Amino acid sequence: MLNRFIARIAVAVALALIGVVAGWIALAFFSYAIYLAFLNVLAPAVAAAVTAVVVIAAAILLMGIVRLALRPRRRRRRTAGIPSLEECETAAEAGSELGRKIRDIAAANSGGGLLAALVAGFAVGVSPKLRAFLQAILKP
């Protein structure tokens, strides 16, 4: 990425130098032509002032064009890793259905689950060896 940045700077500097040299030459001829055109209509001092205004306006226009040409381009976001709305809706429906099935299973076996939790809690509470064993397994 850095090589591309340096290459862009080198190209911009080279184009700027070529543009400056060609611009000065073109500006001299352009200014003289405008001055001669206005000289037929206006007094020499006014023709020179109007020529300066035209040259400055052209320079501002050229700077705006160069600024637009050299501004960084916007990158489009990659959407390859982002799921579409339809995929999200399908995943939400699947998760909802799975949740309903698990809830139904838990509701159907609530007595057995409650009894198993009660026996496990009593066993852990009564047996210090079982409690130490479970703490050793669960702690990292």
- Domain edges within the chain: 2-70, 110-140
Cα–Cα distance for residue pair 60/67, rounded to 1 Å: 11
**More confident site: 110 or 132:** 132
What pLDDT is stored for residue 140 in this prediction? 66
Structure tokens at 20: 């400056």
> Distances in Å between the alpha carbon of 139 and those of 120, 127, 136?
19, 18, 6
pTM of the model: 0.37
Between 111 and 35, the more confident residue is 35
**pLDDT tens per residue, range 21-60:** 987 888 788 888 888 888 888 888 888 888 888 888 888 8
